[in-house]
Chain A
Amino acid sequence: MTSLAFLLPIALGMGLTGLAAFFWALKKGQFSDLDGAAARILIEDEDDDDK
């Protein structure tokens, strides 16, 4: 029973952290260009070495 006193808050805390992270990402516009995010990995930027 005593283990519950630790495990419950830990489980809930982890879930809440994930939820908070999701909301943060949503607010930062991480989901505003899903197609672009998928394509961006393919951009070749070898000549961008000044950045």
Chain B
Amino acid sequence: MTALARGLAPDAQVHSVLAVPGMHCAGCMGKVERGLSALEGVSSARTNLTARTVEVVHQPGLDMPDLVAALARAGFEAQPRVIVEDAPSAVKPLLAPLAVAAFACMNVMLMSVSIWSGAEGTTRDMFHWISAAIGVPAIVFSGRPFFSSAFAALRRGRTNMDVPISIGVTLATCLSLYETVTHGQEAWFDGTLMLLFFLLAGRCLDAMMRDRARAGVDSLLRQAASGAMVVESDGATRWVAAAALAPGMVMRVASGERLAADGEVIAGLSTFDQSLLTGESAPVPAKPGDPVHAGTLNVESPVDVRVTAIGQDTALAEIARLMDAAGQSRSAYVRIADRASRLYAPAVHTLAALSFAGWMLAGAGVYHSLVIAIAVLIITCPCALGLAVPVAQVVAAGALMKRGILVKDGSALERLADVDRALLDKTGTLTLGRPVPDEAAIAGLSADEASVALALASHSRHPLSLGLSQALAARGVKVADLVDVQEVPGRGVTAIWNGISVSLGKPVAADGMATALSVGDRPARVIGFADRIRPDAAPALAALQALGIECSILSGDSVPAVAEAARQTGLTAQAAASPSDKQAAIARLQGAGRKVLMVGDGLNDGPALAAANASMAPGSASDVGRQASDLVFTGDSLMALPRGVRAARATMRVVRQNFVLAIGYNVLAVPLAIAGLVTPLLAAVAMSTSSLIVVANSLRLARATGRE
């Protein structure tokens, strides 16, 4: 992929990072890398599919618009990456401790097997010393994630799963060191390391899910164009980055471009697609004097816009603030593993203290009583408990991913399982969110008309043209050969076909969205467009009701448009809701004790998605919608909703079973530990067995979730 030898001085190179949100497969990666490498002055381009970015090493002469244009030629929309604080990966800091724990565990186990099979005297001492030499540094290093989390919890006067783990690990290590120094018989280095290894594996799985979610974290500001062509007083234009825009500047906004700042139209007539900002399905016309908002898309023709507000003052930033506030209420949610450990930790410590006291009273001596108390702590260390939740959630998330549902966070499944009320946005969620041409009108076109229409539509980026070409291409229509194609902004596309002039454009008179196709002097064909309800909407809503979830519509669109959708789906609806109205509606339901699932796609749904107990967004959603929601479903079918809820409930069932299994093992093992019968060998066997049982039980979810 890298073109190293182009004779460029390495010190003169510039590194640029661009976000390429549309890149999602190997083919795309190849196209992006080839498209950029072909550019003069680019010495290497390397994509990162996880973060959806490409890092370009190029000469200083090239600048951002050149790179973006090169990507556009390759068919990808790209933006220079806004350097927001780079979200640190959650997995990475755990990988090194995991590797160290695995290495140390295997090597210490090697020694332990020799000891268990009967090594005596000096040999055993030597093996213990080697184990200690490997084990102690490894425990200190691998245990850090637990120690620091436990310490932080204790300092705030709370306890979590890491507190019993840290205490158990520390005491077991000290006891083992004491045994080693005093030529004792039993050292617990192997069990301690195995415990750390299993727990770190669980942590890593959990972190992997969160990292996937993080991939879109800095995407909020990406939605706004990160710059604009500014018209100088002498009429020349130059490209200005969004951060450098100031109120009073005049931006020239081409059609198909997103606004970088709020402003007021001063020249030109166009329509703006505000669906992401307000949920309104029809593009809104704007004439000189009308206000327009950052993040909206200029659909028709170029306009000049005078900047009135930038950055933190834009409508987009206001939504970001609402979302921030909404997200904080959700972070108060306590995950099931932490709730379990609140009960578990005190019980375990009391038990250990009681066994110490009991053996002291029975006259066993301090050393012997302490060994037994520590054995109790080691055997009850929540090894299987630490795996119980993450393994089940990762297995379920993997199975859901195969069915086109992406789960961003483990706690999302916990919250989704509790949901008993669903609010659905209309535009883009209940409906496809794109204009779909009228079936009857399409079927009425003759074969040559259809191929002319497809050829004309493919030359325009207007949403109606895109919808038309998609529908015609899906019918297998061939593209006609056109010459002299011209797109007149605001009017349509004209061309010459076989010597006849043809055009696709605004009809003379039409209700709602429509386009007119004229071929020579044949009568014009008017094709109506409407936003369609998603396929499977009715069975999906029925399935949700069957799961005990009451549904209704919550939309920012106008009353008639929402009423139509409500009639088709038989749901109650609230229309013309602003982002804060939506948030308030959710707060009201939550106040009444309901657990709300919000399904939405737009920027305007962002605060509601963040405020709801759980949220889902279609894959076609805005970056903000996808980022704020817990689950994202790809594909057009709404069946993903009931499927997700069923999978979440199945996951929670398995998690509870896992808890029972893990605690059941403790019920069996603890009496042995209290009786002083547990040896390091027994602890190692019990610990790995219970972990394996929990993992095996969780794996059943893959089949259960995949079968539905």
B3 within 8 A of A: yes
Q: Do A39 and B103 touch (CB < 8 A)? A: no
Q: Do A19 and B99 touch (CB < 8 A)? A: yes
In the assembly, what is the distance between CA of A39 and CA of B1, in Å? 14
In the assembly, what is the distance between CA of A29 and CA of B123, in Å? 42
Instruction: Please give me the residue from chain B that is nearest to A39 by CB atom.
Output: B26
Q: Fill in one digit per residue for A9-35: 1 if any B CB lies within 8 Å of its CB, else 0.
A: 001100110110011001000011111
Known interface pairs A34-B50, A36-B47, A51-B3; A43-B30 also in contact (CB < 8 Å)? yes
B25 within 8 A of A: yes
User: 9 closest pairs, A vs B, by CB?
Assistant: A36-B49, A42-B26, A43-B30, A39-B26, A33-B48, A35-B49, A19-B103, A35-B50, A33-B50
A45 within 8 A of B: yes
Q: Is the interface of B mostly helix, strand, loop or mixed?
A: helix
A49 within 8 A of B: no
Offer 19 A-B interface pairs, CB within 8 angstroms, sorted by A. Answer: A1-B123, A11-B107, A12-B134, A15-B106, A19-B99, A19-B100, A22-B99, A23-B96, A31-B95, A32-B48, A33-B51, A34-B50, A36-B29, A40-B26, A40-B29, A42-B26, A43-B29, A43-B30, A51-B2
In the assembly, what is the distance between CA of A40 and CA of B32, in Å? 12
Q: Which B residues between 49 and 93 are near A, CB-CB below 8 angstroms?
A: 49-51, 89, 91-92
Known interface pairs A43-B26, A45-B30; A26-B110 also in contact (CB < 8 Å)? no
Q: Do A51 and B1 touch (CB < 8 A)? A: yes
| Residues of B with C-beta under 8 A to A19 | 99-100, 103
In the assembly, what is the distance between CA of A33 and CA of B100, in Å? 22
| Residues of A with C-beta under 8 A to B30 | 43-45
Least CB distance, A42 to chain B, in whole angstroms: 4
In the assembly, what is the distance between CA of A51 and CA of B511, in Å? 57
In the assembly, what is the distance between CA of A40 and CA of B27, in Å? 9
- B residues whose Cβ falls under 8 Å from a Cβ of A: 1-3, 25-27, 29-30, 33-34, 47-51, 89, 91-92, 95-96, 99-100, 103, 106-107, 110, 123, 130, 134
Least CB distance, B94 to chain A, in whole angstroms: 11
A-B contact count (CB 8 A): 67
Q: Do A26 and B96 touch (CB < 8 A)? A: yes
Instruction: Please give me the residue from chain A that is nearest to B103 by CB atom.
Output: A19
- Neighbour of A15 across the interface among B48, B49, B96, B103, CB < 8 A: B103
Known interface pairs A12-B107, A33-B48, A48-B34; A43-B2 also in contact (CB < 8 Å)? no
| Residues of B with C-beta under 8 A to A42 | 25-27
In the assembly, what is the distance between CA of A22 and CA of B89, in Å? 18
Least CB distance, B360 to chain A, in whole angstroms: 40
Instruction: Please give me the residue from chain A that is nearest to B212 by CB atom.
Output: A35
| Residues of A with C-beta under 8 A to B47 | 33, 36
Instruction: Please give me the residue from chain A that is nearest to B4 by CB atom.
Output: A51
Least CB distance, B336 to chain A, in whole angstroms: 27
Least CB distance, A11 to chain B, in whole angstroms: 6
Least CB distance, A13 to chain B, in whole angstroms: 10
| Residues of A with C-beta under 8 A to B107 | 11-12, 15
Q: Do A31 and B103 touch (CB < 8 A)? A: no
Known interface pairs A8-B130, A12-B107, A51-B3; A43-B48 also in contact (CB < 8 Å)? no
Kindly list 9 other residue pairs between chains A and B, CB separation below 8 angstroms, not including A36-B48, A43-B27, A51-B2.
A18-B103, A32-B48, A32-B89, A33-B47, A35-B49, A36-B50, A42-B26, A43-B26, A45-B1
Q: Do B26 and A41 touch (CB < 8 A)? A: yes
Instruction: Please give me the residue from chain A that is nearest to B25 by CB atom.
Output: A39
Q: Do B48 and A26 touch (CB < 8 A)? A: no
Instruction: Please give me the residue from chain B that is nearest to A8 by CB atom.
Output: B130
In the assembly, what is the distance between CA of A16 and CA of B133, in Å? 13
| Residues of B with C-beta under 8 A to A35 | 49-50
Least CB distance, A34 to chain B, in whole angstroms: 6
In the assembly, what is the distance between CA of A8 and CA of B29, in Å? 47
| Residues of B with C-beta under 8 A to A43 | 26-27, 29-30, 33
| Residues of B with C-beta under 8 A to A11 | 107, 110
| Residues of B with C-beta under 8 A to A47 | 34
Known interface pairs A43-B26, A44-B30; A23-B1 also in contact (CB < 8 Å)? no
Least CB distance, A16 to chain B, in whole angstroms: 7
| Residues of B with C-beta under 8 A to A41 | 26
Least CB distance, B36 to chain A, in whole angstroms: 13
Least CB distance, A41 to chain B, in whole angstroms: 7
Least CB distance, B38 to chain A, in whole angstroms: 10
In the assembly, what is the distance between CA of A26 and CA of B92, in Å? 8
In the assembly, what is the distance between CA of A42 and CA of B28, in Å? 11
